[in-house]
Amino acid sequence: MEQARRDAILELARAGHKPAAIYKLLNYPKTTVYRVFNAWEAEGKVYRKAHNMRSDKIRTSRFLAGLEKSIKASPGTSLSRLAKNRGVSKQLVSKAVNEDPGYRSYRIAKQHILTASMKATRLTNGKRLHNGLKSHGGRIIFFSDEKNWTVDRSYNVQNDRWLAEEREEVPAVFTTKFPASVMTLGVICSTGEVMPPFFFSPKERVNAE
């Protein structure tokens, strides 16, 4: 419909009619007539603006199969990279990945590595603790842990952001090579009682005399 109107307006414009005359002859919206006529005068030709292809036309079975193949070959590839390689938007790839293969983008977790000898040691200690609890049911066990707190400001390089017009407006986070620290001791009893955190004085430690 829109292209047919444009063609009719252009045909009368090429015949020498002015916008006012075209408007009276065709009874089209005045804004449409003047917009098409002015664009034709400026450029000499007017075409309908190209529209992006609908997502359901892009997400064909071939597209989804290729996307899943790429993910299985390299699961660490980001959604942005997958979208850039295919010339589509990140939103389209994200929706395709979530709905069709049923994948989710997870952050890689950092875990403590356990060797075979470490696992064997933990198993032995666990059995020893279990047997001790069975033999001495009324025994009370205290669990303690200590932590060092530094005076340096904590921040996340990846997630912490600062909205500003210029890079120079962003305040820096200053750190020291050997920041001052304070040790805190926490103790909990097997009966469920918890000791309030104990803060040591500067330079004091749990094992220091």
21: containing domain = 2-43
Amino acid at 110: K
* pLDDT for the residue 176: 80
List the structure tokens of 176: 């020291």
DSSP per-residue string spanning 114-139: --HHHHHHHHHHHHHHHHHHHH-TT-
Same domain, residue pair 20 and 70: no
User: Under a CB-based contact definition with an 8 Å cutoff, are residues 34 and 19 in contact?
Assistant: yes
Within a 13 Å sphere around the CA of 111, how many CA atoms are in the beta-carbon half?
6
Same domain, residue pair 68 and 31: no
> Cα–Cα–Cα angle for 40, 42, 47, nearest 5°?
40
Helix (H, G, I), strand (E, B) or coil at 142: strand
Same domain, residue pair 12 and 65: no
Q: Order of strands across the sheet with 181-189?
A: 142-150, 181-189, 194-199
Same domain, residue pair 176 and 151: yes
pLDDT digits (tens, 9 = 90+) for 108-127: 777 788 899 999 999 999 99
Asked if the structure places residue 17 within a domain, the reply is yes
Q: Which of 66, 81, 99 is the last residue of a domain?
A: 99
Asked if the structure places residue 131 within a domain, the reply is no
Asked if the structure places residue 74 within a domain, the reply is yes
Asked if the structure places residue 110 within a domain, the reply is no
Asked if the structure places residue 31 within a domain, the reply is yes
Asked if the structure places residue 151 within a domain, the reply is yes
pLDDT digits (tens, 9 = 90+) for 30-53: 888 888 888 877 775 444 455 555
List the structure tokens of 196: 């309030």
Asked if the structure places residue 126 within a domain, the reply is no
* pLDDT for the residue 49: 52
Backbone angles phi, psi at 140, to 5 degrees: -100, 130
* pLDDT for the residue 46: 45
Same domain, residue pair 38 and 72: no
Asked if the structure places residue 207 within a domain, the reply is yes
* pLDDT for the residue 28: 84
* pLDDT for the residue 101: 75
Other beta carbons within 10 angstroms of residue 96's beta carbon come to 23
Same domain, residue pair 209 and 144: yes
Q: Structurally, how many domains does the chain consist of?
A: 3
Same domain, residue pair 151 and 204: yes
Residue-averaged pLDDT of the chain: 81
pLDDT beneath 70, residues of the chain: 1, 44-59, 163, 208-209
- Detail the DSSP E strand segments found in the chain: 142-150, 181-189, 194-199
* pLDDT for the residue 31: 85
Q: Is the entire prediction scored with pTM above 0.85?
A: no
pLDDT over 70 percentage in the chain:
89
